[in-house]
Structure 1
Amino acid sequence: MSETSQLLAAIADTGRDPVRGGYSRPVFAAAERELLDWYVAELDRRGLGAETDRNGVVWAWWNPAGVPLQDTVVTGSHLDSVPGGGAFDGPLGVASALRAVDLLRERGVVPARPLGLAVFPEEEGSRFGVACLGSRLLTGAITPERALGLTDPDGNTFADVARAAGLDPAGFGRDDEALARVGTFVELHVEQGRGLVDLGAPVAVAGSVIGHGRWRFTVHGQGNHAGTTLLEDRRDPLLAAARVVVAAREVAAAHPGTRATVGRLQPVPGGTNVIASRVDLWLDVRHPEDAVTAAVVAEVSRRAVELAAAEGCTVQVREESLSPTVAFDAGLARRLSGVLPTAPRLDTGAGHDAGVLAGRVPSAMLFTRNPTGVSHSPEEFCTDDDAELGSVALADVLQDLLG
C-alpha cells in the first residue's frame, strides 16, 4: 500500500453511513471533527502546527526560512462529504497534500517561499445548503449575515453550530489578511467523472469549473387526510413537485450540455397517510455558459408555476447559491502543464474551493483518475497507484512553484 493510501486507510472507518452506504461527514458533526483531529495529528507529526482562522479554515505552514507569510504557495481541500458519499472526494486532496510535503522533504527541498496547507469547511454544502461556504466567507463571496442565518435540516443555524464548534460567529466574513498570505493556490481532487478513464491518463490539469447553482422550489398546497379526501378535492403539492422534477429534465434536455438535477425532495409533514401541505425541492443546474443556466432556471420556474396552479397549489423559487463559470489562471495552468507534460487538460462540472479562490488569487487544480467515473457515491474510487501518482504530481508542481 502506498503512503498516500496509508493516510486514507487511517480514516477509512470514520463517518461510515450504515443506511446510505459510503460516508456521511457533514461539517461540524462528529465525523468531520474526528477527521480534523486526524489531520491535526498528521500535521504535528510533520512539525507543522495547525491554526484555525475566524472562518473555520484550518491552516498550516512549512516555512523553514522563517520569512513573512506572504506570496505563499498553498494546497489543500476539504474533509466534509455529501450524504452517503465516497471515500476520496475531499480527503484524497488533503492526504495528497500531506504526502507531497513528505516527498519534498525526501527530495531535500528547502523552500525559500512558504508552503501552506489548508482545509476548508462545508465545501459540499450538504448541511447548510451553500457549497464552498468556508472559501466563500473567506473571499467575501457570501455575506456573513446570510451565512450565519443558514439552517440545517434539523433547524440549527450555522451561527449556533459554528459557535458549538468553538468559532465566534462575530468573526465570520471576508478576511483580507488571510488572503494576503496566499500567492498561489493549487487543489488536488479526485476526478468526479470519467475524463481520465477515457484518456488513459492518471492525472489532469484543470481548465475551468462549469457554472452551477442551486435553487429551492417551495410548493404550497393543502395538507389533509389520505383516506378521507377525494382525489378531486385535493391540492397536493407533492404531485405538483413530481411534475416539476420531470419538467426540469425536459427543459435541460432542450439545452445541450445542461445538467439539471433534483437530488432532494422534502414533503411536510412527511407522514405516510398524510397529504403534504408543503414540498421543498432543490434544483441543481450547470452549464458552461452562464446565460444558458439562467435560461434553464427561468423556464423551469415558469413551468413550475403552471404545474402548481393546475393542482391548486402555488410555488416560490429562491436562489440558494450561484457560481459563474470559472476559467483557472491561464499562466498558472500552462506552468502546471509544463511540469506535467503528459497530463491532459480537463474542465469539470463539479464545484470546488479552488474555483471560489480563483476570483481573488491565482488558482489551479489537478485531478486524479477515478476508474469508476462515479462520484458522490460509495462507488467513487481511486487506485493505490493513482493515488500515489497524484501525490507525486502535486509534489512536482509545488516544487516548481516554490523554486
Structure 2
Amino acid sequence: MWRDLLPLGRHPGSGGYRRYAWTGADAECRAWFAAQAGLRGLRLDVDRNGNQWAWLGDPADGDAVVTGSHLDSVPDGGAFDGPLGVVSAFAALDELRRRGTPLGRPLGIVNFGDEEGARFGLACVGSRLTAGQLTRDRAHRLTDGDGVTLPRAMEAAGHDPDAIGADPERLARIGAFVELHVEQGRALDLSGDRIGIASAIWPHGRWRFDFRGEANHAGTTRLADRRDPMLPYAETVLAARREAELAGAVATFGKIAVEPNGVNAIPSLVRGWLDSRAADRASLDTVVAGVEKAARDHAAAHGVDLDVVLESRTPVVDFDHALRDELARILRRDGDHGTARERIPVLGTGAGHDAGILSASIPTAMLFVRNPTGVSHSPAEYAAEDDCLAGVAALADVLEGLVDR
C-alpha cells in the first residue's frame, strides 16, 4: 500500500507532496483509497462533502467505530502526515481479519477531504462541513490563489458543490472515531516510546494581515517619500516571534502575497498570514493581541494602512476522556496482542486534526506514532518502519477492543 501511494502527487523537484484538494493529485489519491476498499470487499461511500468512507458492516446499525485520516498535503509536505493514518487503518483491518476478530459494531475507514487547507486557506474543510462548523455559504466563498472558487473546483472534479453541508445523520451513526497520526514533534522520541495517546489539541487560529501602501519606482523614489508595506510586515514577523517566546506559544508567518510583486517596484500590498497556537486561550489571545498592536504601530510609522482579518479559529480540544482512558486500558492490556505494554504516554499537540473538529459532535481520540526528528510539513518528515508497524498493531488492538464489545 505504501509503495503504491508514495508517488502520487510527489513533486520531482522538491521531493515533497502537492496533493491539493480537488486537483489531479487529489483524484489519484481518492482512486487509490477506492481501490483499497474494493480489494477488501468494503462498501465505498462518498458523502455530500466529498469525504470517502469504506464500510465493513452497515453504518445504519449505529454505534460504528471509525478510523482514518486524510491524504491531502501542505505545499511540499511529507509522506506521513495524513497518509500514515489511512494506510494504517487498512492495515489494521487486515490484522483484525487475520485474528478472526468478530465485529459487534460496524467498522469504517475514512479519508477526509481538504484537511490541510493548502488550496483554499481553511483547514479541515471536509470535516468542518460535515460537523456543521463551516456553512455552505462561507464554503462557496473560498477561493484559491488562482481565483478558482471551491464550488468551481468541486464541480470540475465531478462533485456537486450545492450538496455540501452539515451531515448530522451520518455523525449520529458513529460511536467512536480514532485517528492515528505521525507525531508532529519529538515528545515520543525524547521519552523513548513508539506510541502515544493524545490528550488535547492546543487552541489555534489563522489571521490575515493586509498592509496597504503605495506602489512606486524602486530606483527613483526617495526613502523618505515611500509608503512601503514590506517594512511594517517584516517588523511584524519579528514581533510575532518575540510575543510567542514571551507567552511560551508559537507564532508563524509562513505565507505571503505581494502586489505588484516586481523586483524593481515598491509594493502596494503585502498580505501575510499568521498561524498562532498556545496551550490555552488566554495565552493565544495575548500573542495575537501583541502581534496586532506591533503591526499597527509599525504600519502607522510608515504611513501604511492595515487590515487584520480572522480567517479561522479553533478552541482547545480535550479529547473524550472516557474514550481516551479506554484506549489506554486496551493498549496496556493488549500490547503485541497479549503482551502488556509497559507505558502509554499521553501528550498534547499544537497541530490541528479532523479528530479535533469531530470532537464536538462524537467521541474522538488520537494515537501518535514516534517521529524521530520531529520534522513535519516537510519532505524530510519520517517515521521508522518498525514504529509504523507498532502503530498498526496498536490501532488494531484499539479497534478490536472497541468493536468486540
Instruction: Settle same-fold status: TM greater than 0.5.
Output: yes
From the superposition, tell whether residues 217 and 67 of structure 1 become closer, same or farther in structure 2 (CA, over 3 Å): closer
**Residues 212 and 305 in structure 2, CA contact (< 8 A), matched pair in contact too:** yes
1:178-200 Cα distance to aligned partner (Å, 9 max, x none) = 11121110000011000110111
What residue in structure 1 maps to residue 15 of structure 2?
21
Alpha-carbon separation, structure 2, partners of 1:210 and 1:67: 31
TM-score by length of 2: 0.95
| Distance (whole Å) between structure 2 residues aligned to residue 228 and residue 182 of structure 1 | 65
Alignment of 1:178-257 (within 5 A): 178-256=170-248
| Kept after mapping to 2: 8 A contact 1:123/1:134 | yes
Q: Does 1:399 align with 2:400?
A: yes
* Residue of structure 2 aligned with 1:295, choices 286, 289, 299: 286
Looking at structure 2, the residues matched to 354 and 13 of structure 1 have their Cα atoms a distance apart, in angstroms, of 26
State the SS of the aligned residue for 2:247. coil
Which residue of 2 is the match for residue 306 of structure 1? 297
2:312 corresponds to 1:321:
yes
Q: Aligned with 2:5: secondary structure?
A: coil
- Calculate the TM-score normalised by the size of structure 1: 0.96
Which stretch shows the higher mean deviation, 12-21 or 97-106? 12-21
In structure 2, what is the equivalent of residue 386 of structure 1?
A: 387
Distance 2:42 2:296 in 1: 55
Could you tell me how far 1:248 is from its partner in structure 2?
Answer: 0.9
- Provide the C-alpha distance between the structure 2 equivalents of 1:389 and 1:12, rounded to a whole number of angstroms: 20
Q: Which moved more, 1:368-377 or 1:293-302?
A: 293-302
1:47 alignment partner in structure 2 = 41
The count of residues paired between Structure 1 and Structure 2 equals 394
Query: How many angstroms apart in 2 are the aligned matches of 1:189 and 1:308?
Result: 41
User: Equivalences for 1:355-374 in 2 at 5 Å?
Assistant: 355-374=356-375
* Aligned match of 1:3: none
Give me the whole-angstrom Cα distance separating, in 2, the residues matched to 1:12 and 1:271.
Answer: 37
The answer to whether residue 95 in structure 2 is matched with residue 103 in structure 1 is yes
Deviations 1:119-141 (A, max 9, x none): 11111111111111111110011
Q: Which runs of structure 2 are paired with 1:19-98 in the superposition (5 Å)?
A: 19-63=13-57, 68-98=60-90
Quote the Cα distance in structure 2 between the aligned partners of 1:41 and 1:67: 20
Letter in 2 for 1:265: I
Unaligned runs of 5+ in 2: 333-342
1 CA distance for matches of 2:206 and 2:117?
10
Q: Distance in 2 between matches of 1:67 and 1:232?
A: 68
**Other-structure match for 2:254:** 263
Shift of residue 113 of structure 1? 0.7
Shift of 1:67: 7.2
Structure 1 spans left out of the alignment, 5+ residues? 1-6
| 2-structure distance, mates of 1:112, 1:179 | 19
8 Å contact kept, 1:20–1:83: no
Instruction: Tell me the SS of whatever aligns to 1:232.
Output: helix
The equivalent position to 1:286 in structure 2, one of 248, 267, 277, is: 277
Partner residue, 2:336: none
**8 Å Cα contact 2:202/2:348 also seen in 1:** yes
Aligned-residue CA RMSD (Å): 1.1
Percent identical among aligned pairs is 51
Tell me: CA distance 1:136–1:43, structure 2 relative to 1, closer, same or farther (3 Å): same
Task: For 2:312 and 2:3, locate their aligned partners in 1 and report how far apart those are by CA, in whole Å.
Answer: 34
Q: Tell me the alpha carbon deviations over residues 234-258 of structure 1, each in whole angstroms, 9 at most, x when there is no partner.
A: 11111111111111111112212x1
Work out the CA distance in 1 between the residues paired with 2:199 and 2:158.
37
Q: What code does the residue aligned with 1:312 have? A: G
What secondary structure does 2:254 align onto? strand
Conserved? CA contact 2:247–2:286, under 8 Å:
no
Q: Is the 8 A contact 2:59 2:173 kept in 1?
A: no
Q: Amino acid of the residue matched to residue 108 of structure 1? A: G
